[in-house]
Amino acid sequence: MEPDCVAIWKVLLMPSRSKRFALAAAGVLTICTLGALGSGFSIEADAGSPTITSNPAGPDVAEVAASQDLAAPFGGNCSEECETSLALLSDSDREGLIDLPSRVQRTLAAIGPIKGDGGTKAAAEVATHLSDPNVEKAAALPGVEETLAAPFEAEGGDVDCTLRWFGFLDQSVRTVGTHRCRIGKAADGAVTIEKLTGERFLVHLAPLNDRFSAYLGRSFLPDQDERDYDLKSPVNAGNANFGNISGLATISGGQIALIGGSELGMSPPDDTFFSVLTLSGR
């Protein structure tokens, strides 16, 4: 796979491409000369944001599945258009995206059972389902569906969105805060999600499979000019905590969830951390 625009142009010229993928890939071509993702969000906690802590008594880490096979992403559930979407990312970000379902499992095994409000438990449950394509039992938590669905289509508009961190430093779970997000569409029809308040970001969705899509874009402060995913400049000038971001996007219980991995600026990298941004349903 070629992690550059050339690979995408090759695919767009292929007659077998679906219209949905062509629209998404064409949208990313407007930004594909730009950056290498630091998968996840680099969003600091708002003053007064509540913190939810869980007791470390979860499953043995040894029971958690090993990292995903890079040669067969998402348990082999990755078609040609999925592979082409992955080619939009830098090598390290592509590997991180493929490994994200396993990262979630490692993190939850390390921090133990989740305690907190219903939204926090639902966010963790949705993330858990990333690595479980054949869920047979009904979900036990309100707002979590038996199976996940990729957000190929989404009703546009401004909604509340809540960011939660799992496994951040010595905190099992942290509710960073609730903000306003905008669901929209780019000129080419690709679904976009923008965080409008606090520390900002703008991402485009690209198809992977029927259960989740990739998201890729950039985080930024309101006074920063960088807005797009940039392969050549992965971090924003003057502040390495902002820059390229990527992760997995899915719908469960009528709500879009953006699930990300390691934080930009996090040193050393934390292998047992993930974030979930949940957008309220419309």
Q: What is the pLDDT of residues 195-214, one digit of tens each?
A: 999 999 999 999 999 999 99
Question: What is 36-105 written as a DSSP string?
Answer: ----S---PPPTT--EE---S----GGGSPPPP-TTSGGGG---HHHHHHHTTS-HHHHHHHHHHHHHHH
pTM of the model: 0.74
The CA distance from 151 to 249, in Å, is 7
Which one, of 210, 84, 63, 66, lies nearest residue 147 by Cα? 210
pLDDT of residue 282: 59
pLDDT of residue 133: 56
pLDDT of residue 153: 85
pLDDT of residue 38: 38
The helices-and-strands tally (H runs, E runs) of the chain is 5, 12
Look up residue 129 and give its DSSP letter: G
The CA distance from 162 to 143, in Å, is 14
Residues (pLDDT < 70) of the chain are 1-71, 133-146, 282
